[in-house]
């Protein structure tokens, strides 16, 4: 089993990643940390807590930073709805989040040195802060897998992918941290887009994981249909899976610098950037079979 700490900004994409991570017997989620991104921190934290209650799973949630290092927060409510979960009403969890997320990273990294993959599927604010506060994390973590970036054009501007755009300064800190960073950006994740028909096989299962996945998948179509989208992409789930199922991806090592000027958030190949393992391709057919099999 691969030990994972998941840093996220749920967000429907993130919710799907959480569900898949819980359903997969090869993944051991030690805890979830939340960051501001798709929606504000209050909502990302409540969504994580409420989703775990809905799934009847006992996992600690830590809330992290409520705004990017240097900038105001840009949210993505047009993709995720005002509260982040589209029009889904999750039951209200009575659990509360803890605040000391960076201490949580350190405590577990010391307990399991070189065993934990930190998977970050939101803006990299929490990770940049934690690495600055506790530089020893760089020696204690196995690596960092991120959903973010793109070498093939953006999804929030023509240049930038959303997570990197929101906090480009944080991304540069993480990319230059010396940790092994795997960048699962749009080059790979956009290969994993599905129309409503393509995932009907998941609906045939009545497991809690399949049911909630399809509830979210349907809500994604309702919310994003309004802005003309006819397929959805499992960005965050795909990034999570790259930490375990490396054969489904093609990686190339490249020096990547994050631009902070006019082309804010663009991940550019530049010798001044950190050495990053960039996912340049992804096997959609494998993913479809994996989802049906894992969630059922």
Pick the catalytic residue from 43, 80, 129, 235.
235
User: Is residue 266 a contact partner of residue 159, using CB atoms and an 8 Å limit?
Assistant: yes
Three-state DSSP class for residue 151: coil
Minimal CA–CA distance to 290: which of 23, 13, 28?
A: 23
Where in 235-254 is the site for Ca ion (CB under 5 A)?
236
| Interface stretch with Ca ion, choices 4-12, 74-82, 185-193, 199-207 (CB under 5 A) | 4-12
- Nearest distance in Å: CB 163, Ca ion: 6
Vertex 205: Cα angle to 203 and 210 (nearest 5)? 70
Q: What is the DSSP letter of 92?
A: P
Residue 79 or 194: which CB sits closer to Ca ion?
A: 79
Minimal CA–CA distance to 5: which of 97, 81, 101, 78?
A: 101
| Interface stretch with Ca ion, choices 27-35, 122-130, 185-193, 242-250 (CB under 5 A) | 122-130
Residue 12 or 140: which CB sits closer to Ca ion?
A: 12
- Nearest distance in Å: CB 236, Ca ion: 5
Burial 217-239 (b: 16+ CB within 10 A, else e): bebbbebbeeeeeeebbbbbbbb
- Nearest distance in Å: CB 260, Ca ion: 21
| One residue of 4, 6, 7, 11 binding Ca ion per CB under 5 A | 11
Residue whose entry in the numeric block shows the structure tokens 């409510």: 77
Q: Is 121 among the residues that bind Ca ion (CB under 5 A)?
A: yes
Burial (CB count <10 Å: 0-12, 13-18, 19+), residue 120:
buried
- Nearest distance in Å: CB 18, Ca ion: 10
- Nearest distance in Å: CB 255, Ca ion: 25
Residue 76 or 173: which CB sits closer to Ca ion?
A: 76
154/147 Cα distance (integer angstroms): 13
20/205 Cα distance (integer angstroms): 14
- Nearest distance in Å: CB 201, Ca ion: 25
| Interface stretch with Ca ion, choices 11-19, 151-159, 251-259, 264-272 (CB under 5 A) | 11-19
- Does residue 193 have an active-site annotation? no
Strands of the sheet containing 267-269, edge to edge, are 61-63, 27-34, 2-8, 116-120, 143-147, 181-184, 274-282, 249-258, 267-269
| Mask for 155-174, x = binds Ca ion (CB under 5 A) | --------------------
Residue 140 or 242: which CB sits closer to Ca ion?
A: 242
| Tokens at 206, concatenated | 């009545």
Q: What is the DSSP letter of 122?
A: S
57/20 Cα distance (integer angstroms): 13
| Mask for 219-238, x = binds Ca ion (CB under 5 A) | -----------------x--
Residue 85 or 121: which CB sits closer to Ca ion?
A: 121
Residue 17 or 131: which CB sits closer to Ca ion?
A: 17
| One residue of 7, 14, 117, 187 binding Ca ion per CB under 5 A | 14
Residue whose entry in the numeric block shows the structure tokens 């755009």: 165
Catalytic residue annotation = 235
Footprint on this chain of Ca ion (rule: CB under 5 A): 9, 11, 14, 121-122, 236
């Amino acid at each position: 089993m691969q030990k994972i700490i998941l840093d996220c900004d749920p967000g429907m994409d993130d919710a799907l990643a959480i569900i898949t991570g819980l359903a997969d017997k090869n993944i051991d989620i030690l805890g979830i940390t939340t960051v501001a991104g798709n929606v504000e921190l209050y909502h990302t934290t409540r969504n994580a807590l409420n989703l775990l209650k809905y799934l009847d799973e006992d996992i600690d949630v830590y809330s992290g930073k409520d705004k990017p290092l240097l900038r105001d927060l840009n949210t993505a409510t047009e993709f995720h709805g005002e509260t982040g979960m589209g029009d889904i009403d999750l039951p209200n969890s009575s659990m509360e989040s803890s605040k000391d997320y960076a201490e949580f990273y350190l405590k577990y990294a010391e307990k399991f040195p070189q065993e934990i993959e930190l998977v970050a599927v939101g803006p990299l604010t929490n990770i940049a802060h934690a690495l600055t506060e506790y530089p020893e994390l760089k020696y204690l973590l196995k690596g960092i897998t991120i959903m973010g970036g793109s070498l093939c054009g953006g999804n929030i501007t023509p240049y930038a992918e959303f997570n990197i755009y929101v906090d480009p300064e944080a991304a540069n800190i993480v990319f230059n941290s010396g940790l092994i960073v795997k960048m699962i950006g749009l080059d790979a994740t956009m290969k994993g887009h599905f129309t409503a028909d393509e995932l009907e096989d998941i609906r045939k299962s009545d497991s809690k994981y399949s049911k909630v996945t399809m509830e979210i998948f349907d809500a994604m179509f309702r919310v994003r249909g309004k802005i003309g989208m006819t397929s959805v992409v499992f960005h965050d789930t795909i990034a999570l899976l790259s930490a375990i199922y490396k054969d489904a991806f093609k990686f190339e090592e490249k020096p990547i610098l994050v631009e902070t000027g006019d082309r804010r958030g663009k991940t550019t190949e530049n010798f001044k950037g950190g050495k990053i393992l960039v996912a340049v391709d992804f096997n959609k057919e494998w993913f479809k079979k994996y989802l049906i099999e894992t969630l059922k």
